[in-house]
């Protein structure tokens, strides 16, 4: 049976119709080959373009994300500052209720101690000068 099919095809190939079919098949094959090569070249270009566009989108997205992060960081800083302020007030009130001296109280007390130390120093200088003057004065004899 295979032999009969091969003989039939061999006979058809020798006819004008067979030769025309062979030429058409070759033309179609060449057209497909060219289409494949063109598609391959164009696919490379499309791939490069897709990469470039992807990079642009990534940079744009990163810029937007950075903006959002900055906004969130600013909001977090504001909230943290508000929290610190409230915490300082409450801790200050608690210290006041307990009766512990605050930094302000300690600083005021330090200033007073320094002022007193200066006064004591001045008075001791005056006292030393007076003592030296008295030591250098001749003794007055009292005769009655």
49 alpha carbon, distance to own chain's centre: 31
- In this predicted structure, what is the pLDDT of residue 133? 72
Handedness of CA 88, 93, 99, 103 (dihedral sign): positive
- Per-residue model confidence as pLDDT tens for the chain (144 residues): 667 666 666 666 677 777 787 788 889 999 999 999 999 999 989 999 999 999 999 999 999 999 999 999 999 999 999 999 999 999 888 888 888 888 888 999 999 999 999 999 998 888 877 777 776 666 555 565
Give the pLDDT of residue 141. 59
**In this predicted structure, what is the pLDDT of residue 54?**
93
Orientation angle between helical segments 2-13 and 16-98, nearest 10 degrees: 100
């Amino acid at each position: 049976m295979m032999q009969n099919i091969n003989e039939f095809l061999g006979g058809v190939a020798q006819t004008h119709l067979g030769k025309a079919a062979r030429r058409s098949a070759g033309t179609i094959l060449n057209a497909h080959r060219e289409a494949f090569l063109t598609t391959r070249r164009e696919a490379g270009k499309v791939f490069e373009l897709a990469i470039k566009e992807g990079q642009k989108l990534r940079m744009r997205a990163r810029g937007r994300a950075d903006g959002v992060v900055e906004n969130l960081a600013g909001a977090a800083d504001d909230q943290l500052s508000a929290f610190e302020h409230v915490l300082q007030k409450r801790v200050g009130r608690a210290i006041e209720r307990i009766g512990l001296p605050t930094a302000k109280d300690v600083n005021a007390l330090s200033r007073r101690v320094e002022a007193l130390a200066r006064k004591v120093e001045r008075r001791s200088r005056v006292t030393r000068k007076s003592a030296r003057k008295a030591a250098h004065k001749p003794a007055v004899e009292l005769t009655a």
